[in-house]
Structure 1
Amino acid sequence: MSIEVGSKVQGKVTGITNFGAFVELPGGSTGLVHISEVADNYVKDINEHLKVGDEVEVKVMNVEADGKIGLSIRKAKPQAERPERPQRPRNNNRSNDRNNNHRPKEDFESKMARFLKDSDERLATLKRATESKRGGRGARRG
């Protein structure tokens, strides 16, 4: 029997590693179910989900030229059995929302005035520091 990508087949777990499980497929070929493809939720220890000798239904995800077969147990389940992941509302400006919640809204002119004041103060501090090192106006000579 040829293994085709996208087909669902029954297999037997023949080995378990820390990164996944090896499953023997019909026809004697062996494929790997990566630990991320074992269950819909996070799998810390694969031994909690699978044991050597378990019969599992797997979906063939890919077949590489060198004969490696990628398998998935979680994608072999019917859609109805797979738990629905809750969708979070997307908001690309979360940090701005957090920062602006405690501060009253400012108009553009007040933001610009505050920026210019801060900028002038920083430039003055920088200018004082560099002039004293260069021996510019007002620098002490000794």
Structure 2
Amino acid sequence: MDYRIGMILTGKVTGIQPYGAFVLLDDDTQGLIHISELKHGFISNVGDYLKVGQMVKVMIVDIDEYTGKISLSLRCLEQPFNFKYNRDEITHRYKKYWSNRHVEEGFKPIAERLDGWIEDALEDIKNGK
């Protein structure tokens, strides 16, 4: 079969190691789900999450072009967080950290200092600095 990154497949867990789980995709193709790709959050033991012989739905996240090794992910297929929020509520919650002072002043502080900067620059040119 011609595998491509982003494909979603069903495979059978054939082996579990401390660093991840091997999944048989077809008769001759096997891929690895790294421990970091099992689920969102911390996992200390792959065996607590997967069992040998278990059927899993996985996504191909990488195919090494030189070795042909396939990297799989379960994490890509799960919804990590179920955010239900109102944008106005979040803006209001953090509004105290924002200021519109820069909008009112604009370039006024620069304009006030510009004449002094020009005089200093001209003086430096005359003195050869």
Give the structure-2-normalised TM-score: 0.59
Q: Deviations over 1:35-85 (max 9, x none)?
A: 0101112101111100000000000011112111110011123xxxx2318
SS in 1 for 2:43: coil
Higher Cα Rg: structure 1 or 2? Answer: 1
The equivalent of 1:83 in structure 2 is: 80
The equivalent of 2:3 in structure 1 is: 3
Structure 2 unmatched runs, 5+ = 84-129
The equivalent of 1:92 in structure 2 is: none
Equivalent position amino acid for 1:11 in 2:
G
Task: Please give the root-mean-square deviation of Cα atoms over the aligned residues, in Å.
Answer: 1.6
CA contact (8 A) 1:30 1:69 kept: yes
Q: Deviations over 1:93-112 (max 9, x none)?
A: xxxxxxxxxxxxxxxxxxxx
Q: How many equivalent residue pairs?
A: 82
CA contact (8 A) 1:10 1:26 kept: no
CA contact (8 A) 1:13 1:54 kept: yes
Q: Distance in 1 between matches of 2:53 and 2:74?
A: 15
- How far 1:26 moved relative to its partner? 2.6
Q: Which has the higher contact order (CA 8 A, sep 6+)?
A: 2
1:1-142 counterparts in 2 under 5 A?
1-64=1-64, 65-77=66-78, 82-84=79-81
Q: Distance in 2 between matches of 1:71 and 1:38?
A: 9
Question: Aligned residues: percent identity?
Answer: 39
SS in 1 for 2:6: coil
Q: Distance in 1 between matches of 2:80 and 2:32?
A: 23
Structure 1 unmatched runs, 5+ = 87-142
SS in 2 for 1:39: coil
- How far 1:28 moved relative to its partner? 2.4
- How far 1:2 moved relative to its partner? 1.1
Give the structure-1-normalised TM-score: 0.54
